[in-house]
Structure 1
C-alpha cells in the first residue's frame, strides 16, 4: 500500500480521481501526493473538471431521491456495514493516514478507530431521529415537529484529519437520508480515495445507486463550485478561518446553510492547585501531537506566577526528551509538518516572535540531516510571551507553545484565555472545585469545548464537536449534531369539523 505499490486499498493508481459511488474516472490535471515523511511520491489523482462535477451533482440528486425513501434504520444498516469494513481495513488505512499526512502511526490508527466509533454512534442514531409533539391552543388539533432529509451535503475537509472529519459528516448525513459530495484536501487525496473505495464496496454489495456518496478532487475552485451551487443546501467546511469566511459569504449569499469548523487558539490554564504531573502530560501532548497541526492543539499555557518558574523547568526538561522522526516508528513523538509551505509559516512565526518581543525557552529550527530528507521536520518551540502579541493572537499550524504568566485569581486567567478571536477548545488544570466550576460557568471559558484536568485535544465522538467566535459556531459528531443535516418541519392536523383560527381570530363569511 505504501511506497511504490500501485494500489490504494484495491484501487488502481492510474484511475484515482472522481467517484460517484461505484465508478472511478477523471480527465482533469494530475495532483501529486508526496509524503512529508520521506518526500517520496505516493501517487497521483485526477482533478475534477467542471463537466465531471456536473455529472457528480446530477448523480447525487438522483441517488438522494431513492436513498431518502429507505427507512432510517435500514440506512443505519449500511453505515453498520461501513463500520465493519473499516475494522477490516483499519491497519492499512491507518498506515496510509500516517504516511500521507505525517501524523504518528498510533494517531493514524486512532483516526480510523474514530471513524468506526462514529459508525456505531450513527447506527444507534438511525432509530432516534425524533421530533416533538406540542399541545395546540385550538381544540381537536394535533401539532408536532418532524425532520426530513435535507438533500445533498457538500463536505470540504482539511489535511490534518484526512478521514475522520469526513466520517463525522458522512455517517450522520447518511442515516439522515442525505447524499454526500466530498472534496478532500489536495494535500491528502489518497486517503480520500481509500475511504471512497471502502464505502463503494458497501454500496455495491447492497445494490445501491451511484451518487449516494461521491468524491471530487481538486484545488480551491472545486470548493468554490460547491459553495455557489444552489443544489447543495448544506456545505460543511473544515479548515482555516480565512477559508471559512470565504465559504460562509458565498453560501450565505444564496441563503444556503453552513457548518463551519475553523481555527483554534487553545489554552490550558494552570492554577496553583494544579496537579503538575497530569498538567505536563496534557500540555506536552497537546502542543506537539500531530506536530501542532490539530485545530485543538494547545497553543497557549497560562500559568500562575506562583508556580511559573517550576512549570518552566518541568516543560523544558520534557521537551529535551522528545524524539522527532518517522511517524511510522512508534518510538518517535513528533513527525513532520505537512509540506514546505507549513515549514515556511513555522519559520515566519519564529521571526515574528523575536520581532514582537517574545523570548524562547526552547528554540526551534528545521532538521536537515539525511534522516529528515523531506525537509518537513521541525523542532517544537516554547516561547515566553504576552497574550496581546499579534503572533500569539494568530493560529500557526506548527508545534509552537506560548507560555503566559498570570497573577490574581482564576477569573484573571479566564480573561486571558478568552482574549483571542478563536473559541474552539480550552482546559483548566486545578484540584480546586471552585476554580473548576467557575471555568465551566457563564463567567468561564467562551469556547465550544471546556475541559477540567484533561488537555485541549482528544474529543470523544459522543459529544458535539465545535467552537464559537472565529471557529465558526458549527457542531459535528455526537449529541444532536444530526439536526443540521435535516430540514425541520412543523405539522398541524385538524381532526374536528370546525376550522378555529389561531390567536382567536374570527373570519366569518
Structure 2
C-alpha cells in the first residue's frame, strides 16, 4: 500500500496513527474485582443460571480474555421464553404507571452506575471511554423516554356509521418479544427495544451479540435492582457456534409474539423467513450504506466537522455512519484538504481506556480484513490513498482517506463498517442523488447545503429513513430510528417505537337502542 502514497502522505500517516504495538497495549486490562456489574451467567426468570459450557469474551484491543460467560443453548432459550410467557400474564395487567415507575428506577440506576457500565463497553467492544459514556447516556435515555410514553398509550373512540353501535379501538401488548442485538452498541440497542417493549406491557428475551454479552448482563443486574419482576426481562448469552440454534428457538417458538432484530440485512432475511411460519410481528433494523453529500453551497468547515462526527464514531462501526462521500467539484479539493487536516489533528489510535484515544480497534480480525480488502480493491481501480490505508496491531486499522474514487469500487457498493472515507467527485445535484439512491438499502443519509430550495428537494428525494441536513449525528430517543428498502421494517425510539409492541383491537358495541 505504501507504494501508492507520496512521501508527504507517509509523513502525514505518522501524525494520524503512531505505530501501535502489543507492548503499548499490554498495560490495559479490566480489573474484575473493580467491576461491580460484571456478571457471567445467563439471567432467566429472575435467576442467574449457568450453562453446561462457557465461552470467552475478549478485549478487541489486546486480544486478552476478559471473562468466560455461560454458553446458553436451545434449552436455556426455551426456558427463557417460557418464563417470559408466564410473566406476561401478570405484567400485561400491571398499570401503565406501575411500568413507568419501574422503568424510571432502571434509568436512575443506569445513570448512577454509568462509569461501570461504560467501562464494560470499552473493554468488550473497544470504544474509547468518552464514547462509551456517551452510549450509556444515550442508552439510559430510552428507558427515561419510554417510562414516560408508557402512560401515553391511548386508544380511540371512532364515530359509528349507525346509531346503535359504538366503535372502540384498544391497544394491547403483543406478548413475548425476542430481542436480538448487535455488538456495536451493546447497551443502547437493548434499551431502545426493551424500553418500548416493557412500557407497552410485553416481556422480553434478549440474545446479545457473542462479542459483547457483558453489557446485557449488567443491564439485567440493574433491572433486578430496579424491581423488574422475574421473567419480564431475560438474557441468554451464547457463543457464535450456538447462535443459530438459540436464534431458531427465539424466532420460531409459538409463544413468541414479536421479534426485534438489529444486524445485517442477510441475517435479517433469515430471521424473517423463520418468523413467517408463525406469522410473528417483526421489527428489523438492518444494514446501511449512508451517503454523505457536500454541495458547492455548503459551509465546508461544518461539512468537515459533520464528516468527522459521522464517520469516525466507534471507528466507523455504526449502521448510520457515512459510507459514501460525494463532494461537488467546486469545493472538492478544499473539502478533501480540510478533512485530511482534521484527521491529522483529531484522531489518535489506542486502547479505549486511554483518555487520549479517539479511535479504538475494530471488533475483530474479520472486520479489519474487510476494510483492507476495500482499500486494496479501490487502489487497484485507480483510487489514491491520502491518509492511512494500513493495518496496525491486531484489529487496529488506520483512519483512511481515499480520493479519485468511482462507483465501481467495493467501498462504494458495500457497507464498510470501518474508518474508511472514500470521496467521489460529482458535478450536478441529479448525479449525486442518482448515486446516493442506487443502493438497495436506505437507513440514513446526510448532506450539507445552504441553498434552502436544494435542502427541501434533496431531503425529499433521498431514499432513506433518516436525513441529516447540515448535521452528522441525528440519533435521539425522541426521533424515530429506521430505514427503507432493505434497511428494515418498523421504527425504534420516539412515540412510534412503542407501537411496534402493540396490537390494535377493534371492539364493536352493538344494539344500544338509542
Query: What TM-score, normalized to structure 2?
Result: 0.90
Deviation by residue 1:74-95 (Cα, 9 ceiling, x = unmatched): 1111101101111111111012
Are the equivalent residues in 1 in contact too, given 2:291–2:326 (CA < 8 A)?
Answer: yes
Q: Give the CA deviation at 1:44.
A: 0.9
> Is residue 425 of structure 1 aligned with residue 444 of structure 2?
yes
Q: The residue matched to 1:27 in structure 2 has which SS?
A: coil
Q: Give the CA deviation at 1:472.
A: 0.9
Structure 1 segment 99-248 matched on structure 2, within 5 A: 99-203=123-227, 208=229, 210-218=230-238, 219=240, 220-221=243-244, 222-248=246-272
Report the counterpart of residue 352 of structure 2 in structure 1: 327
Partners of 1:126 and 1:386 lie apart in 2 by 48
Report the counterpart of residue 416 of structure 2 in structure 1: 396
Q: Give the CA deviation at 1:188.
A: 0.5
> Is residue 453 of structure 1 aligned with residue 470 of structure 2?
yes
Q: Give the CA deviation at 1:473.
A: 2.7
> Is residue 28 of structure 1 aligned with residue 44 of structure 2?
no
Equivalent of residue 406 in structure 1, options 404, 416, 426: 426
- The 1:229/1:262 distance shift into structure 2, 3 A limit, reads same
Corresponding pairs, count: 481
Are the equivalent residues in 2 in contact too, given 1:22–1:203 (CA < 8 A)?
Answer: no
Equivalent of residue 322 in structure 2, options 298, 315, 318: 298
Deviation by residue 1:234-271 (Cα, 9 ceiling, x = unmatched): 11111111111111111123211211111111111111
Are the equivalent residues in 2 in contact too, given 1:21–1:200 (CA < 8 A)?
Answer: no
Q: CA RMSD in A?
A: 1.8
Are the equivalent residues in 1 in contact too, given 2:41–2:49 (CA < 8 A)?
Answer: yes
Equivalent of residue 76 in structure 1, options 89, 92, 100: 100
Partners of 1:281 and 1:417 lie apart in 2 by 21
Q: The residue matched to 2:425 in structure 1 has which SS?
A: strand
> Is residue 349 of structure 1 aligned with residue 374 of structure 2?
yes
Report the counterpart of residue 362 of structure 1 in structure 2: 387
Query: What TM-score, normalized to structure 1?
Result: 0.91
Deviation by residue 1:115-137 (Cα, 9 ceiling, x = unmatched): 22112211211111012221111
Are the equivalent residues in 2 in contact too, given 1:286–1:298 (CA < 8 A)?
Answer: yes
Partners of 1:106 and 1:495 lie apart in 2 by 63
Deviation by residue 1:154-202 (Cα, 9 ceiling, x = unmatched): 0000000001010011111111111000000000011111111111212
Are the equivalent residues in 2 in contact too, given 1:8–1:194 (CA < 8 A)?
Answer: no
Q: The residue matched to 2:471 in structure 1 has which SS?
A: coil
Are the equivalent residues in 1 in contact too, given 2:81–2:250 (CA < 8 A)?
Answer: no
Q: The residue matched to 1:233 in structure 2 has which SS?
A: strand
- The 1:156/1:44 distance shift into structure 2, 3 A limit, reads same
Equivalent of residue 470 in structure 1, options 486, 491, 504: 486
Q: Give the CA deviation at 1:21.
A: 4.6
Q: The residue matched to 1:463 in structure 2 has which SS?
A: coil
Partners of 1:47 and 1:433 lie apart in 2 by 54
Q: Give the CA deviation at 1:379.
A: 0.3
Are the equivalent residues in 1 in contact too, given 2:348–2:358 (CA < 8 A)?
Answer: yes
Report the counterpart of residue 12 of structure 2 in structure 1: none
- Higher fraction of helix: 2
Q: Give the CA deviation at 1:395.
A: 0.6
Report the counterpart of residue 42 of structure 1 in structure 2: 66
Are the equivalent residues in 2 in contact too, given 1:2–1:96 (CA < 8 A)?
Answer: no
Q: Give the CA deviation at 1:412.
A: 2.7
Q: Give the CA deviation at 1:227.
A: 1.4
Report the counterpart of residue 498 of structure 2 in structure 1: 482
Q: The residue matched to 2:495 in structure 1 has which SS?
A: coil
- The 1:241/1:320 distance shift into structure 2, 3 A limit, reads same
> Is residue 87 of structure 1 aligned with residue 85 of structure 2?
no
Q: Give the CA deviation at 1:329.
A: 2.4
Q: The residue matched to 1:38 in structure 2 has which SS?
A: coil
Partners of 1:361 and 1:473 lie apart in 2 by 38
